Amino acid sequence: MKFDWKDSIYSDGSKHYVTNPTPELGEKVTIRLRILKNAPVEDVILRGKINGQAHFFAMTEEKKTEQFVYYKYQLEINQPLFHYHFIITTDDETYYYNQFEISNYPPVEDYDFRIVADYQPPEWVKSTVFYQIFPDRFYNANPDNDVQDNQYTFNGYSTIAKDWNEEPGEYEEAHCLDFFGGDLEGIKEKIPYLKELGVNALYLNPIFTAATHHKYDCLDYFAVDPHFGGDGALIDLNQELHSNNMKVMLDVSVNHTGIAHKWFNKEANFFAEDVGAYNNPEAKEREYYYFDEEGNYHGWEGVETLPTLNYESEALRDAIYRDDDSVLKYWLQDPFNIDAWRLDVADVMARMDDKQMHHQVWPEIRENIREENSEAYILGEHWRDDQEFLRGDEWDSSMNYFGFGRPVRQFVGEIDHMLERRLEQFDFSSQKRKASELAEQFKQKIARLPHQIAYVQFNLLDSHDISRLHNNPQVSWQDYRGAVIMMFTFPGTPNIYYGDEVEIEGHRESVEGCRYPMEWEQEEQNQDYYQLYKKLSHLKQEKESLQTGGFKILYDNDYVIAYARFTADEIYLTVVSQEKSRSQVAIPIGTLGVFEEAEVSEVFGQQPPLEIEAGIMNLELEAKDAFLFKIINKTKEVGG
C-alpha cells in the first residue's frame, strides 16, 4: 500500500506556519505550507481575498528538510479578517487546499484559513486542563455553614440537608433544595489533590447567593453564597489557586435571574416587599425585565422561576457589564481576580422575537471584560452550531458539545443527546457513528473557525447538564478510555467533570444523576480511571504537540479513527477502535514525514503488533483498543 502525496500537504494558523498567529492590523506575517519532498509540484499559490477581490500570490521555497519542502509568502494583514486557501499545481492537475479538504475544483470559502487581526486569544488555555466542580457536591470542609433542614423555603418548598453518602433527590422530591454541604473551603483544601491529578484551572458552577443548590437562579450577583463561605472564602481560594499557578473560571447566568433576585423579588423571601421589579412597578429594575401592561412577565423557556432579562434596557447593560462596578467586571477586579467567565445559556441571551440584540451585546461584553483582564477567557454555553459567536469579537469558545462531546459520545454508541433531551416523544436508534462520520463532525466545526479560536475550544464529555458517559451501562471501560484519550488530544482544552477521574456513581434518568457527591474514599475510587486522567493531564500541560501542534486525521475507516497532533520533531498519534473484533489498519504516517527510522513508543506502555513500511503504519488492533503513540522524528535541513 502507498499513501497519496497530496495528503502530505499541510498548513495551519499556528506559530509553526504563521510567523505571528495573532497579528495587529497592518502587521506583516509570513504564511507557510509544507509538502513532502519529491512530490510532483510545479507551483504553490496563496489565494487571498482583499477588499472583496481575489488575489493570487506565488509562494517560494523557504527551506527543505529530509522529508519536506516548505513554501512561504509574506503579506500585510490590512483588513480585520483575512481568509485564504492554497492552490497547488502539477503537470496534469490543479489542487485546492483549505482547512477542510483537498479538492481539484475551486472550493467554497466557508473553510478558508482565517486570520483575525487584533484578536488576542487567552494563550494560557492551550496548555490548560480544566476541572469542573459543582460546589455543593465536591467537599465539605466547614459543616458550620451547611444548609439545615427547613432552614428556609423557596417556591413553596423547604430545604433538605443530605448526608454525603446519600443520593441526590429527584426534582419531584427535593425541588433542587437538597444540600450536601460542599463549600469553597473544601475546594481550597483539595488543591493538592487537583495538582497531583494534573489540573491547572478550575471551572466552578455558580457560587453566587441563591436559594437552590445549582444557583442558576441567582438572588444577588454581588455576593458569594454564605453556605459556600461567602466572599472571603472566594478570596482565599483564588489567592491559593494563583499561588499554585492555577486559574479559576466562574459561572453566571445573565440571561435571566431567579424570582428571588433582589432586582425581581417576587415572593419577598429574602428582601423587603418594596424592593425589586415584581411588586414595585416604579422600581428602577422594572425595565430590566419583560413585563406587559397586566404585570405578567416573561420566564426563560417558559419557566416562571427564571424571569428573562431585557437587554433593550441601557441601564441593564450598564449594570451587567459596562459600569466599573458591573457584574462581569466586579469579580475580575481585586481582591477576587478571577481569570475567566462561563456564561450560561449564552446562545439565547439578548434575543426576544423581533429584538435580536445578541450581536450588539456580545461584542460589548467582550470589550468590557477584556478591559479588566486582557487574558480573560470568555466561554459561552451552546449545544449546537456556534460559529456565529466564534469570529473573534464575541466568545473565545463555546462549551464544545457540538464539535467534540456529542460526536464522540455517538461514536461510542449513545443516541445524540439533543435528540434524547429535546425529542423524548420520539424513538431514536442508538446506531454507533462510523469513524468517517466522526471525522466529518470534527472537521465541520474546526475547519470553519480561525485557528486562533479553534485551538482554545473547551472540550468536554460530561458536565452538570448531561449524564456521565461512564454511567451508561452500554459504555464499557474500553469505550470510555478511548473517548477520554480523544478529549485530551483534540485541539483545545479538556474539561474533567469532578469525579469522572474516579468513576463516580450516578445514573442517566435525570440531571440529578450527574450531580452525586464526590467519592473521597480511596477504596471506592477506580484507580484505572484515575491513572488514565492523571497521565493525560500532565501530558497535556507538558507537550507542545498537544498545545499548539498541528492536527490531522490520518485514518477513518469503518469504526477506527486515527489522528495526529504534531510539531516538526514530535508527534502524538491517537488511535481509537470501536470495532467489535480484531482488525488490521494501515495508517499513512508517511504524510507526516514518518518512515522506518522513527522512534515509536506507546504512552501507556502497551506494545501492540505494528510495523512501519514505506510510510505506512500497519497496526493490529483488538476490539475496542485505544492507543496513544509518541513518535520522535528528528528533522534536519538539507540543501538543494
CA pair distance 51, 63, nearest whole angstrom: 31
579 & 531 share domain: no
Total tally of structural domains belonging to the chain: 4
Coil, helix or strand at residue 201: strand
How far apart, in whole angstroms, are the C-alpha atoms of residue 399 and residue 306?
Answer: 22
CATH of the domain at 575: 2.60.40.1180
Distance CA(397)–CA(249), nearest Å, equals 13
Residues 246 and 274 in one domain: no
Query: What's the pLDDT score for residue 432?
Result: 81
Question: Counting beta carbons within 10 angstroms of the beta carbon of residue 425, is it exposed (0 to 12), middle (13 to 18) or buried (19 or more)?
Answer: exposed
The whole-angstrom separation of Cα 396 and Cα 452 is 9
The CATH number assigned to the domain holding 48 equals: 2.60.40.10
Helix (H) or strand (E) run with residue 46 in it? strand 43-50
Burial 109-133 (b: 16+ CB within 10 A, else e): eebbbbbbbebebbbbbbbbbbbbb
Domain boundary among 116, 142, 166: 116
- Report residue 571: phi and psi, to 5°: -130, 135
Exposure string of 251-275, with b = 16+ CB inside 10 Å and e = fewer, is: bbbbbbbbbbbbbbbbbeebbeeeb
Supply the DSSP symbol for 247. Answer: E
* Whether residues 316 and 361 fall in one domain: yes
392 and 528 assigned to the same domain: yes
> Are residues 616 and 565 both part of a single domain?
yes
* CA–CA dist 226, 22 (Å, integer): 42
Helix (H) or strand (E) holding 236: helix 230-243
| Block mean pLDDT (10 aa), the chain, length 640 | 91 97 97 96 97 97 95 97 98 97 97 97 98 98 98 95 97 97 98 98 98 96 98 98 98 97 94 95 97 96 95 98 98 98 98 97 98 98 97 98 97 83 59 92 96 98 97 96 98 98 97 98 97 98 98 98 96 97 97 90 95 95 98 76
Q: Domain of residue 97: give its range.
A: 5-116
Give the per-residue pLDDT at 182: 98
Domain end residue (candidates: 87, 116, 145): 116
- Cβ–Cβ < 8 Å for 476, 624: yes
- Rounded CA gap, 513 and 467, in Å? 7
**375: burial class by Cβ within 10 Å (0-12, 13-18, 19+)?**
middle
Q: Are residues 304 and 314 in the same domain?
A: no
pLDDT at 634 (0 to 100): 75
Give the per-residue pLDDT at 532: 98
**CATH assignment of the domain containing 135:** 3.20.20.80
* Cβ atoms of residues 587 and 617 within 8 Å: yes
pLDDT of residue 415: 85
Report cis status (omega within 30 of 0) of the bond before 335.
yes
pLDDT of residue 1: 59
35 and 55 assigned to the same domain: yes
Q: What's the sign of the alpha-carbon dihedral 274, 275, 279, 282?
A: positive
Question: Residue 633: what pLDDT?
Answer: 83
Which one of 116, 138, 159 terminates a domain? 116
Q: Are residues 557 and 569 in the same domain?
A: yes
pLDDT of residue 423: 58
Same-domain status, 486 and 403: yes
Task: From residue 417, give the alpha-carbon distance in Å to each of 384, 421, 625.
Answer: 11, 6, 25
Alpha carbons within 13 angstroms on the beta-carbon side of residue 310 total 19
In this structure, the answer to whether residues 35 and 161 fall within a common structural domain is no
> Are residues 180 and 219 part of one domain?
yes
pLDDT of residue 590: 95
Same domain, 411 and 394: yes
Q: What is the pLDDT of residue 638?
A: 75
CA distance 478 to 484: 10
